[in-house]
Structure 1
Amino acid sequence: MNAYLQRHKIFLFFFSVPVFYQAYSQVETDTTVTEVNTLHEVIVTDQYKRGSVSGKLFTVSEISRQDIDKLAGNNLADILHYQLNIDVVPDAQSGRSTVRMFGLGGEYVKILVDNIPLVSDNGYGNNIDINQINLDEVERIEVVEGSMGVLYGDNAVAGVINIVTKKGTEGQWEVEAAIQEETVGGEYDWSDQGRHIQSLKMGHNISDRLYVAAGFNRNDFQGFFNNYRGKNYFKTQNNSVINDGLRGNEWNPKEQLNLTGGLYYTAPRFNIYYKFGYYDETLDIYDHVVNARAEGNVYKITANDKRYNTSRFLHQLYADGKWNSMNYNLALSFQKQERDNEDYVYNVGERRKQEVTRDITDQSSDLLFSRGVLSRIFSKSEFFDLTLGYELVNQKGYDVSASGEHSRDIVEKRLENYDVFAAADLNITDRLALYPGLRLNSNSSYGTHWIWGLTAGYELSDDIKMKGVFGSAYKTPTFAQLFYYFVDANHDVQGNPDLKPEDGLSALVSIEKRSHLDKVTLRQSLKGFHFNIKDKISLILVGNEAPGGSFRYMNIDRHRVLGASFENTLYYKNLQAGLGLSYIGIAQELGAEEVSRDDYLFNFTTNVMVSYTIPANGIVLTTQLKYNGKQPQYVERTNDTGDTVYMKGEQDAFTWWDASIRKSFLNKTLELTAGARNLLDVVSVNTTAVSGTAHGAPPGNVLLGYGRSFYLKLLYNFKR
């Protein structure tokens, strides 16, 4: 307890320091793309490289800094579109994008920054808006597949996406400045249309042991108009106002600001660094409907608009080093996020804000997180090793939106987790290793629960390796699933405070082969996976009390995922090429409904990547393509007698395709990247996977993108 209080005091000291610097540790970066999975002692992040469970523990794929730069990626959503077994799920209205892994939604995937879960408007770690994760200071992105519950607790069912930030710079000074201009579809203007990005980073080695850095990024997205006419549009005809519903945007505009900074100190057997982050986002929602009121011979034209402002503060303190022959790692983080909601009347004719009708903080979340790991406890043993750790979470907050616009009560909740975990490393033979692990999850709302995991690794030969990752599929309900409330004359959608946690089995088996022939390297990976989730939480139609139906979050009986993927990557001189195939089936059974369907519905996905560097001038050409096949799904419909039936609907197939060209000048001081996103001009796709009558699905479409866009990025990099 005294040690914990000491760390807490240190944290409070750094919390009060008003500096904007980013800490970087001095680590070696392996830039050889063919060596992604040969890193020794990797759990998920570089924090654990100094000593932990063997790097054989998980199936890890890496998105390098070079991959990010090739596509001029500014946020995580720009990059993840092309990952096999991952889908980006956008929301044009809110501007949010979440991830889906192996067909399981964002609540089953934990997103970490330097091994610490990120707080968001949906809690922490899960269902994160990946548009809010800036990539300027990222060294690499690690995508870890399979059950991760032992190390990362509840809700790490499908896997983990870990963003590893940069930990140092060459020389004494580094200054990097960039400007990036993008069209949004075919729309662009220097100030009123398109996407405008500016960034600045600075780093300085004050001494051999002390390093400081700071970063700033602004991402100004002016929205996507498509067929809409913008904020100041209205239509008149024959001296009267025609409400044609064309005001506003298809995708709403927003502006994002990121500030980062920190201090880093290193000694021969000890390292400590403090990290600061501030994020601010302003999202404007312009009502498609205008209101016109005659005042004499003049119409007063107004609209009811909204503005959401989200702010997030992040403070993190890390310490790691050696104690005797063991390695230790400590992390302490405080994060605070708030979202302000302003409703106002906008005078369209006079182009001014006329009256504020509501101004509240509708979401707030405070997170105190601490984690400690002691590893290489039996480092002298060739057969057995052990890792021990703890994790403490204290989160409190509320969400008026989740509680419902028509709810009079603000529900404030506190969530506390007190977890301990252990993972063993058993080297049975030179080729066979087992990694069993166990975690005691103690949750303030759901009591204690054991989370288990087992990884088995076997080397068939020097170039063929097999791996199996098995574990608990344990997930607790989200805030919205517990407390959502939206009931009026036309709607009835409610959460369920009596929900119980989900549990089940997560299994992933892979075999990887590396082949080397002259100057050609070929890496092939075949994976099979199965998730069997009991009591999965879904929004279920429970009645017809409201015109649109009555819905509740319920624990359904079973949700299963079955699939396989095959990935191939080829390296030859200056050429890198990849081909991936994935086939995923989803089945779910509602135990309370005799008419529910539980057979598997499969979806096919393939991705292609080609990158070539022209040796004569150093130009890098890159293209990526991902085909997303038809997505079938059983949906609830109502027959003529009012009974609920389940029929198969389907979302149409679509394809993402990007391409870029990158060139350095003046001894790599200047770098120019030009490219195109969404070359096939995908905006929306048709779907019949929506509720309706049993005679047929109502017409529907899903917004996915904002059309073919072009970008140009100029980067200046000074090092001394």
Structure 2
Amino acid sequence: MNAYLQRHKILLFFPGILAFYQAYSQAEVDTASAKVNELHEVIVTDQYKRGSVSGKLFTVSEITRKDIDQLAGNNLADILHYQLNIDIVPDARSGRSTVRMFGLDGEYVKILVDNIPLVSDNGYGNNIDITQINLDEVERIEVVEGAMGVLYGDNAVAGVINIVTKKGIEGKWEVTAALQEETVGGEYDWSDKGRHVQSLRIGHNIADGLYVSAGFNRNDFQGFFNDFRGKDYFKTQGNSVSNDGLRGYEWNPKEQLNLTGGLYYTAPRFNVYYKFGYYDETLDIYNHAVNARVEDNTYKITANDTQYRTSRFLHQFYADGKWNSMNYTLALSFQKQERDNEDYVYNVGEQRKQEVTQDITDQSSDLLFSRGMLSRIFPGSEFFDLTVGYELVNQKGYDVSASGHSTNIVENRLENYDVFAAADLNITDRFALYPGLRLNNNSSYNTHWIWGLTAGYKLSDDIDVKGVFGSAYKTPTFPQLFYYFVDANHDVQGNPDLKPEDGLSALVSIEKRSDLEKVRLRHALKGFHFNIKDKISLILVGDDAPGGSFRYMNIDRHRVLGASFENTLYYKNLRAGLGLSYIGIAQELGAEDDSKNDYLFNFTANASVSYTIPSIQTIFTTQFKYNGKQPQYVEQTNDTGETIFVKGEQDAFTWWDASIRKSFLNKTLELTAGARNLLDVVSVNTTAVAGTAHGAPPGTVLLGYGRSFYLKLLYNFKL
């Protein structure tokens, strides 16, 4: 069957189900009692609640709006530091931060906004820069662990982070304005140092069921100097200029602007909304080296600097409701992201931009996305129900820098045409199975089946056991397929012939809830295993270039084995949490016979305490996370030129935050004061880097920008 017929058969699948159900419901005699139908609705509608991940199918932990406010979180990176089994991977030069879950990097974690994947530099949903996700419009954040390929497609291997936005207010008007000032390490002033955040959000109920909102946010990060001296620094020594490498910043300055708008309509059996978003980011990269020459007996001191400007547009339409007794959802989204690159000569002595040497749009991504689902297809059955749906993805883009700055820009396209189904089998009152299957039809690969199975068992009224099993299916990214950077010193290429990764994911959890006289306890024990085959890695394939020729290849195998234990206590106005995690990673680094593939384990612990004093409307919060030593095998070359594998290690480090939040005038005004990174972590030592047979010298990994203090004032007006 050719691709044209395949695509159109898939497009016809969803309307065909609608037609089938209409004929079925007209022919069926409604013999079920109202009582039975009402009970069934309570069970199933929560499974696909609007904008949420199914808590029935998966283990979902929630970060509430209250949690976000207590930490004065402005973007997603501010919030996720303290989550168990999650690490934030920052890049000081580019300003990007990505998520790593269960030791799997951001390519294996899908980021959703209201269940719709967010566009990234050259793809969608994965490897997202989480510093670009503003939290002003967010109602809650759902963190879901385990493979979710049936409902969310390829690359949802380690888990999903779903950001659920606000869709209504109480009353007629709501106006929220906030100012936040924050030091960056010990650096701060009103204009040239620190972090400065301003936001405004307006919501209005135009009529019953009709709501409109608009928002603005500016996050001005002025960079972190640390031991560097800024963009206008140079050093003279005698009659010459000393190029000491101290110009610029440790973390480069970045300014972000967010504009949002939405129109929402809610009726008893029908909900629909349209959302608009615009994001603009300016990142300045200042070269540490300066150039000096003598001209007319004076020094002309310049530097070659770069400015990146990223813009993203988002249009999103969503509808859900009931048709007879069936639930339906429909989501449409168009997103476009571009990055402009301006290279210029900066005159350091005269403190001005002297000459623009290049000004291009070096990266562009377009994403057209649609998903539709039908649930409660068999409302008369207490034993069996079915959810079916489709997902369409059309993404295209190019990356000039990844193509060696070639003038012949090649735009590439990837398309997905998927259908999926998930069954609901209530075997007994205590035991249920939820098998699912997705047919993934990708324009670059053969058709692939993605499977999943959730098993839920209620051991007692307060103990639940859940197992989530599924395919660990991941397709290659745009750079892995199309990257091309070849010059006199480099040879790094993508591989259009790459095949997707696949394997097995398993997560089993046991949750116990205890309600005592004044104390509520929750305990959750989880065990997990990921076995990923044909893992894609950058492999040395030749030595034609001075540094060797590298190409993305399907070679490595990656395994993860671990367990975590989470505990939460509620006592009057106190909430406390304690979590422990032990994760081992085994990776075959290549095809060599002596490659190391045993498990290397890392220990992590987190804790949180929140205490509320209602009489003075004040909340005290502190969070703590210990990240143990991270071992890793690395390739080294011995004296005879042979490749050997040596175990390196990144040192342990600890994050610690604390805050006080006080309300005034019946919560019209709120003041939050706090500190991030109280233990002043900036970098840690590591030996997990390539070296010679005599050992790799300890390097450093930048993790943060030191102990920072913030003050946030929020005004919230409701009518």
Equivalent residue number for residue 495 of structure 2: 496
Aligned twin of 1:162 = 162
Q: In the alignment, does 2:180 pair up with 1:180?
A: yes
Aligned residues between the structures: 684
Alignment pair present for 1:46 and 2:45: no
Change (3 A) 1:45 1:409: farther
Question: Matched residues, percent identical?
Answer: 85
Q: Given the superposition, is the C-alpha separation of residues 680 and 628 from structure 1 closer, same or farther in structure 2, using an over 3 Å criterion?
A: same
2:103 maps to what in 1?
103
Deviation at 1:555, TM superposition (A): 1.3
1:451 is matched with: 450
Q: Is 2:324 aligned against 1:324?
A: yes
Cα separation, 2, equivalents of 1:131 and 1:666: 33
Does 502-511 or 39-48 show the bigger shift? 39-48
What secondary structure, in the 3-state scheme, does the structure 2 residue paired with 1:443 have? coil
- Deviation of residue 467 (structure 1)? 0.3
The Cα of 1:141 is off from its aligned counterpart by 0.1
Q: Which residue of 2 aligns with 1:421?
A: 420
SS at 2:51's partner residue? Answer: helix
SS in 2 for 1:525: strand
Cα 1:39–1:350 shift into 2, 3 Å = farther
Whole-angstrom distance in 1 between the partners of 2:391 and 2:312: 22
Aligned to 1:65: 65
1:653 aligned onto 2:657: no
Offset at 1:646? 1.2
Contact (CA 8 Å) 2:537, 2:556: kept in 1 or not?
no
Q: Is the 8 A contact 1:403 1:480 kept in 2?
A: no
CA contact (8 A) 1:65 1:138 kept: yes
Q: Give the Cα–Cα distance (whole angstroms) in 1 for the partners of residues 122 and 710 of structure 2.
A: 32
Q: Distance in 1 between matches of 2:51 and 2:609?
A: 32
| Mapping for residues 654-693 of structure 1, pairs under 5 Å | 654-693=653-692
SS at match of 1:378: coil
| Deviation readout 1:248-288 (Å, 9 max, x if unpaired) | 00000010000000111122211111000000000000000
Instruction: Quickly say closer, same or farther: Cα 1:595–1:487, change in 2 above 3 A.
Output: farther
**396-405 or 151-160: which moved more?**
396-405
1:56 corresponding residue in structure 2: 56
2:21 corresponding residue in structure 1: none
- Cα distance in 1 between the residues matched to 2:275 and 2:513: 38
Q: Aligned AA for 2:92?
A: A
Residue of structure 1 equivalent to 2:348: 348
Cα separation, partners in 2 of 1:41 and 1:582, compared to 1, 3 Å: farther
Following superposition of structure 1 onto structure 2, how do residues 141-290 of structure 1 map, counting pairs within 5 Å? 141-290=141-290
RMSD of aligned residue pairs (Cα, Å)? 1.8
Contact 1:669 1:717 in 2 (8 A): yes
Q: Name the stretch that deviates more: 560-569 or 379-388.
A: 379-388
Q: Distance in 2 between matches of 1:473 and 1:278?
A: 33
CA-CA distance at 1:296 after TM superposition: 1.8
Contact in 1 for aligned 2:623/2:656 (Cα 8 Å) = yes
Q: Counterpart of 1:361?
A: 361
The aligned counterpart of 2:524 is 525
Letter paired with 1:203 = G
CA separation of 1:337/1:638 partners in 2, compared to 1, >3 Å: closer, same or farther?
Answer: same
3-state DSSP class of the match of 1:556?
Answer: strand
Amino acid at match of 1:442: N
- How far 1:349 sits from its partner (Å)? 0.8
Offset of residue 698 of structure 1: 2.7
**Which residue number corresponds to residue 5 of structure 2?**
none
Using the alignment, how far apart are the partners of 1:533 and 1:635 within structure 2?
20
Q: Which residue of 2 aligns with 1:10?
A: none
1:122 CA drift (Å):
3.3
Using the TM superposition, give the Cα deviation of residue 638 of structure 1 relative to its aligned residue in structure 2, in angstroms: 1.1
Equivalence for 2:301? 301
Residue-by-residue CA offset, 1:344-372 (whole Å, 9 max, x unaligned): 00111111111110011011011111110
Number of the residue aligned with 1:540: 539
Cα pair 2:435 2:453 within 8 Å, conserved: yes
Alignment-derived partner of residue 621 in structure 2: 622
| SS at structure 2 position matched to 1:46 | coil
Aligned pairs for 1:3-82 (under 5 A) are 41-43=45-47, 46-47=50-51, 55-82=55-82
Is the Cα contact below 8 Å between 1:340 and 1:362 reproduced in 2?
Answer: yes
Report Cα offsets for 1:627-670 as digits up to 9, x if no partner: 00000011111111212111111100000000000000011110
Deviations 1:562-616 (A, max 9, x none): 0000000000000000000000000012462112111000000000100001233
Deviation at 1:116, TM superposition (A): 0.4
Alignment of 1:503-582 (within 5 A): 503-582=502-581
- Aligned-pair CA distance for 1:236: 1.2
Q: CA deviation at 1:56?
A: 2.1
Letter in 2 for 1:240: S
Partner of 2:126: 126
Question: Are the structure 2 counterparts of residues 39 and 361 from structure 1 closer, same or farther at C-alpha, using a change threshold of 3 Å?
Answer: farther
Cα distance in 2 for residues equivalent to 1:607 and 1:464: 23
Q: Which amino acid aligns with 2:356?
A: V
Contact 2:122 2:397 in 1 (8 A): no
Q: Give the distance between the partners of 1:284 and 1:615, measured in 2 at CA.
A: 45
Taking the aligned partners of 2:74 and 2:326, their CA distance within structure 1 comes to 38
- CA distance in structure 1 between the aligned counterparts of 2:402 and 2:247, rounded to whole angstroms: 27
AA at the equivalent of 1:641:
T
Specify the code of the residue in structure 1 equivalent to 2:376. R
Hey, what's the Cα distance between the residues in 1 that align with 2:608 and 2:280?
34
Unaligned runs of 5+ in 1: 8-37
Q: C-alpha separation between the residues in 1 aligned to 2:270 and 2:9?
A: 20
Alpha-carbon offset, residue 410 of structure 1 = 2.4
Instruction: Give distance in 1, aligned partners of 2:289 and 2:629.
Output: 34
Q: Secondary structure at the match of 1:398?
A: strand
Residues 122 and 398 in structure 2, CA contact (< 8 A), matched pair in contact too: no
What corresponds to 1:35 in structure 2? none
Residues 50 and 320 in structure 2, CA contact (< 8 A), matched pair in contact too: no
Is contact 1:402-1:479 (8 Å) kept? no
d(CA) in 2 for partners of 1:344, 1:561:
45
Q: For the structure 1 residues 530 and 578, does the alpha-carbon distance in structure 2 shift closer, same or farther, using more than 3 Å as the test?
A: same
Q: Please give the alpha-carbon distance, in whole angstroms, between the structure 1 residues aligned to 2:546 and 2:628.
A: 33
Q: Is the 8 A contact 2:573 2:612 kept in 1?
A: yes
Q: Is the 8 A contact 1:346 1:353 kept in 2?
A: yes
2:272–2:320 Cα contact (<8 Å) kept:
yes
User: How far 1:401 moved relative to its partner?
Assistant: 2.3
Which residue identity does 1:664 align to in structure 2?
S
Distance 2:308 2:328 in 1: 42
| CA 1:265–1:426: 2 relative to 1, 3 Å | same
SS at match of 1:616: helix
Displacement, 1:43? 4.7
Question: Aligned partners of 2:448 and 2:673: how far apart in 1?
Answer: 51
CA distance in 2, matches of 1:530, 1:644: 30
Instruction: Tell me if structure 1 keeps the 8 A contact 2:212–2:262.
Output: yes
**Matched residue, 1:396:** 396
Counterpart residue type for residue 621 of structure 1: F
- C-alpha displacement of 1:481: 1.2
TM-score norm. by structure 2 comes to 0.93
SS in 2 for 1:78: helix
Contact 1:43 1:58 in 2 (8 A): no
